[in-house]
Structure 1
Amino acid sequence: MLDRTQALAALTAPDSVFAIAHTRHHGAPWREFPSAPATLRTVLEATAAYADDDALVHDNGRITYTEQLRLVGHFARHLVDDLGVRHGDRVAIAMRNHPEWPLAMWAAQVIGAIAVPLNAWWTPDELRYALADSGTRVLVADGERADLLTAAAAADGGPVVPDGVHAVLVAHPEGPLGPGMTDLSALLRAWTGPCPLPDADIAPGDDATILYTSGTTGRPKGAVATHRNHATNLHTLQLLQAVNLVRQGVPSEMLTNGIPAFFAAMPDLPRQSGLQVYPFFHIAGIVGLYVAAAQGAKLSLLRKWDTERALQLIESEHITNASMVPTLLRRLLESPLRAKYDLSSLISLGAGGAPVPPDLVDEVGRMSDHAVSPLNGYGMTETTCVVVSNSGDEYYAHPDSVGRAVPVVDVAVVDPATGREVPAGETGEIRFRGPHVVRGYWNRPQETADCFPDGWFRTGDLGHVDDDGLVYVVDRLKDVIIRGGENVYSAEVEAVLFEHPAVADVAVVGVPHRELGEEVAAVVETHPGVAVSAAQLRGHVARRLAAFKVPTIVKFSDRPLPRNAVGKVLKRELRDMLSL
């Protein structure tokens, strides 16, 4: 059986679909996949091969790949012929994980428009800001978002949407539609018969999406990703999947024609089936959509999180792969309902979007006797999702590491003050360069220049790379607690607290201190019916970490910790709460 290095060498050989070309980009060394799909339209067109296989499973039924392609054709022609959408125009999508979301996304991609996914948790002010900032021409929204915008306009006397938005298409309307709104659900029912995709001239370097960052501080910025960014990410994830298969004993020559060809040649293998937990407006949600499409997998949608519904879908739809934020993965694994359901179809369980406590990786192993492969994909909106990955046996062996940089990405750890690279093992700011990195922020030249110096993306994460190439993330640069001149990394303290059996959720932040500058504070949510004192938790940390890292303040919360739409703790709110 080949190790990881050997598997990569075999799979990226010159005659493989995963071959890597070594070039230069703006004078810097560059690696890319010549055989990656040219555009996201290319990915959708290839789904014709999956015909009557299920593409989407949702609350009200199923959509086959043939039906999806037909509906996208009608949708795309409506955008072009009836609404005047042209190449480069922005089409915003604001809804939960309804089946209309992927239809809108694909319709925008196949005509060369730019999809603008909007956070379904945003307020009307935030939605209107992003619509105006992106210069959106058409908004596709669900009934909840349409009603929210309409009610806000009635309350503040402003427009429902900015003047530049020419049309609003509403899926699942919940009441009378306002001026300029059209019932998308009715349109979809009326679009019958075959409908080929409209012609379009789309280049790999054309903009494909504008995804707004989480905006935990200030107004969110729109990260602009090209078709090449997304296609590179897709090809990378398929290569990593192939590496895992080779390490499990599959001959490498069976995979050099690509993942779709492998599964087509192995019809007796379980059909790939994913659980869509991440909201589609998150980069991981979009990636889940096109990864499933590229290999004809079935994607079961969760409109919103429900632990029992997730367990039901894993059993009934024979889910093979599921990924979610660590908070939800913990709820799934620790649910007393888990024993009621057959989860034996699972091949991998992934987590990302926030730091993954090592004990969660161990729990994946315990629940499956290590039959399920744990997966951690580290990246962000600006890197088009995954640029570092850890999985399988290596993740079980190194649960505190996010893994290794993917083959076409360069990683550097630098002194954040000087920008100079630090030696292996030393902590600094993590930066990435390569074809995954987006071209910048929409209409933000200064922020683009600041965050993407010389083609490197500054993540704002602190970490180190060891001598073996494993990447470790220790904290956000802005979240480091400096206590009496000593650096305390919140993720390290949180990981230790998570190991205590009473702790259900925890976040560690710094609070002002007159003499020390900052003090370490922990906000803890305990499991129902389990008692623990602050002194006991401090003692637990003290047995594992240096004294200066032990929280002086331990505050218990009887409510879930505040998080944004993708599961990241809003530490600014916790600091404000602790300072009162």
Structure 2
Amino acid sequence: MLDRTQALAELTGPESAYAIEEVVHDGIPWRVLSKAPPTLRAVFEGLIGYGGRDALVYQGERISYAEQHRLVAHLARHLADEYGVRRGDRVAVAMRNRIEWPLAFWAIQVLGAIAVPLNAWWTVDELRYALADSGTTVLICDDERADLIRARTDGAMPTLVAGLDGPPAAGEADLTALLRGFIGECALPDGGPEPFDDATVIYTSGTTGRPKGAVATHHNHTTNLHTMELTRAVALARAGLPTAELAKGPAAPDGSPTGPPAPGSLQVYPFFHVAGLSGLYIGAAQGAKLCLMHHWDTATALELIETERLSAANMVPTLLRRLVESPLRAGRDLSSLTSLGMGGSPVPPDLVALVGGMSGNTIVPLNAYGMTETTCVVVVNSGDDYYEHPDSVGHPVPVADLRVADPLTGEELPTGRTGEIRVRGPHVVRGYWNRPRESEEAFPDGWFRTGDLGYVDADGRLYVVDRLKDVIIRGGENVYSAEVEAILFEHPAISEVAVVGVPHHDLGEEVAAVVRLHAPGAASAAELRGHVARRLAAFKVPTLVRFTERALPRNAVGKVLKRELRDMLAL
């Protein structure tokens, strides 16, 4: 069987669909996938070949790839003709996962306009800030966001609303009715974007200050897409498929109902998050059926996997734990599942073992490390490698440069030393929207400062130990909260846990754990401290253990809001 290095070498040669070429972009050395699609419009144009396959499924409604193409063409022309949307204009999308979201996104991309996905959990003030900051000219939203925004605006911004119960207000149009009214075939508008045109402005989910809009180009997104296709080809090569066939690239879509079943994916991540957006176009490029979830419900997720025969699902670790530990799982046929992906927050190593236990290690686990500023995935761990190294996020993808640096000096640190993780390459966005100073600070010499702490081992695997700002410094000793959380998660009584630092008059900071148990009283603070003490040094053992019966506060993609926990512990 080929190892990873051999598979990559055979799949990235000059004649391969995954050929890698060295270039210099804006004075920065890059390795690029020279045969990746040039733009997201080019990706969409290729989807028509999937014809009658299901493209989108949502609450009993489903549309095929052919129907998706027809509706997107009509909507793109409508945006151009009725609202004057042109290349480079910003069009915001503010809604939960529903069928209108992908249709709106693709229509924006084929015009060469810039999509601005807005967090559907935001308050009206946060929504208004991003609309103004991005210079949005047209808003596409659902009825919930329309209700919020309508009460605080004068209706001056043209708005298309999905899911309206009544007539649209002044300045609004009923998007759902509009889509139903598009009759007949329609060609895509002429023109479109260039590879280094801006494609998206995605606002980061920072927990302090105003969010910043990370600006990703079409080249960023298609690099992400083609990288994941290469990652899949490497996995198949290592499983024994001929590299000569895999090097031809993904099979051309033909819409044929015969042959292997088309992949299907449970779309859990919200589309306004970079992982959700990546799932949209990566799944589409594979001809996958995307089953959308408006919000998480474990029973519904299990039902969809079974009835739609889904092959993949990707979600934050919290939700994946609920899925694999659910007693409802025993009554469902999940044999169609071949892949379970997790990311968006640190993955406790025991969760990987749980995935293996539910499938006899037949399901391929996937941990994809990345963030908004890296257009999603830059480090991957999957399959047997992940089962064998569950505490690592894996190896960098072939076109990404990664180094661990001293956070203060920027000096690269040797193997095994912990420092700030920095990333460079064609995945990294060009900067923040209208934020030159912040862009210069975050992307020195093309290296994105992730704010994550980690180290690389002798085999090149990356280990993420904590967020730089979340390191607890107790009496001069560094305590990485993710390490303590991973140990606590191994205790069978724990449902959720987060470790934070709290002020201490003598030590500077002390270690505190906020714990939610599966059942109240199932474990005591002393028992949990002893559990940690048996595995870690004494200075890492939480001095304070606070129990809560409420779910831990999280942002839209499942990351625990530790600032809120610190405020709670200070009371």
Q: TM-score, normalised by structure 1?
A: 0.97
Three-state SS of the structure 2 residue aligned to 1:429 is strand
Comparing 248-257 and 208-217, the one that deviates more: 248-257
Which residue pairs with 1:512 in the alignment?
Answer: 503
Which residue pairs with 2:272 in the alignment?
Answer: 281
Distance in structure 2 (CA, Å) of the matches to 1:100 and 1:265: 26
Is residue 313 of structure 2 the alignment partner of residue 296 of structure 1? no
Q: Mind listing any 5+ residue stretches in structure 2 that lack a counterpart?
A: none
Distance in structure 2 (CA, Å) of the matches to 1:304 and 1:462: 31
Distance in structure 2 (CA, Å) of the matches to 1:148 and 1:265: 44
Q: CA deviation at 1:475?
A: 0.4
Which residue pairs with 1:335 in the alignment?
Answer: 326
Q: Is the 8 A contact 1:263 1:269 kept in 2?
A: no
Q: Against the structure 1 CA distance between its residues 481 and 84, is the aligned structure 2 distance closer, same or farther, given a 3 Å change threshold?
A: same
Distance in structure 1 (CA, Å) of the matches to 2:95 and 2:541: 42
Which residue pairs with 2:529 in the alignment?
Answer: 538
- AA aligned to 2:70 is R
Which residue pairs with 1:420 in the alignment?
Answer: 411
Is residue 447 of structure 2 the alignment partner of residue 452 of structure 1? no
Matches within 5 A, 1:106-185: 106-151=106-151, 153=152, 159-160=153-154, 165=157, 167-185=158-176
Which residue pairs with 2:340 in the alignment?
Answer: 349
- AA aligned to 2:360 is D
Which residue pairs with 1:71 in the alignment?
Answer: 71
Comparing 443-452 and 253-262, the one that deviates more: 253-262
Which residue pairs with 1:156 in the alignment?
Answer: none
- AA aligned to 1:439 is R
Comparing 422-431 and 55-64, the one that deviates more: 55-64
Q: Against the structure 1 CA distance between its residues 267 and 8, is the aligned structure 2 distance closer, same or farther, given a 3 Å change threshold?
A: farther
Q: CA deviation at 1:340?
A: 1.0
Distance in structure 1 (CA, Å) of the matches to 2:103 and 2:541: 50
Distance in structure 1 (CA, Å) of the matches to 2:547 and 2:42: 51
Distance in structure 2 (CA, Å) of the matches to 1:263 and 1:465: 43
- AA aligned to 1:84 is G
Q: Against the structure 1 CA distance between its residues 265 and 142, is the aligned structure 2 distance closer, same or farther, given a 3 Å change threshold?
A: closer
- AA aligned to 2:231 is L
Distance in structure 2 (CA, Å) of the matches to 1:63 and 1:264: 14
Is residue 571 of structure 2 the alignment partner of residue 551 of structure 1? no
Distance in structure 2 (CA, Å) of the matches to 1:253 and 1:177: 56
Q: Is the 8 A contact 2:421 2:451 kept in 1?
A: yes
Distance in structure 2 (CA, Å) of the matches to 1:242 and 1:6: 12
Partner residue of 1:526 out of 517, 524, 527: 517
Three-state SS of the structure 2 residue aligned to 1:75 is helix
Q: Mind listing any 5+ residue stretches in structure 1 that lack a counterpart?
A: 154-158
Which residue pairs with 1:317 in the alignment?
Answer: 308
Q: Against the structure 1 CA distance between its residues 110 and 201, is the aligned structure 2 distance closer, same or farther, given a 3 Å change threshold?
A: closer
Is residue 177 of structure 2 the alignment partner of residue 223 of structure 1? no
Which residue pairs with 1:241 in the alignment?
Answer: 232
Q: Is the 8 A contact 1:149 1:160 kept in 2?
A: no
Kindly report the root-mean-square deviation, in angstroms, between the aligned alpha carbons of the 2 structures: 1.4
Q: TM-score, normalised by structure 2?
A: 0.98
- AA aligned to 1:92 is A
Q: Against the structure 1 CA distance between its residues 538 and 392, is the aligned structure 2 distance closer, same or farther, given a 3 Å change threshold?
A: same
Q: Is the 8 A contact 1:496 1:541 kept in 2?
A: yes
Matches within 5 A, 1:569-580: 569-580=560-571
Aligned length: 571
Distance in structure 2 (CA, Å) of the matches to 1:35 and 1:458: 28
Q: CA deviation at 1:97?
A: 0.4
Q: Is the 8 A contact 2:453 2:465 kept in 1?
A: yes
Q: Is the 8 A contact 2:57 2:63 kept in 1?
A: yes
Q: Is the 8 A contact 1:502 1:530 kept in 2?
A: no
Three-state SS of the structure 1 residue aligned to 2:173 is strand
Q: CA deviation at 1:429?
A: 0.2
Q: Against the structure 1 CA distance between its residues 81 and 5, is the aligned structure 2 distance closer, same or farther, given a 3 Å change threshold?
A: same
Distance in structure 2 (CA, Å) of the matches to 1:530 and 1:362: 26
Give deviations 1:184-226, integer Å, cap 9, x for gaps.
1111111110011101141100000000000311100000000
Q: CA deviation at 1:529?
A: 5.4
Is residue 349 of structure 2 the alignment partner of residue 358 of structure 1? yes
Distance in structure 1 (CA, Å) of the matches to 2:228 and 2:258: 21
Q: CA deviation at 1:295?
A: 1.7
Three-state SS of the structure 2 residue aligned to 1:46 is helix
Three-state SS of the structure 1 residue aligned to 2:412 is coil
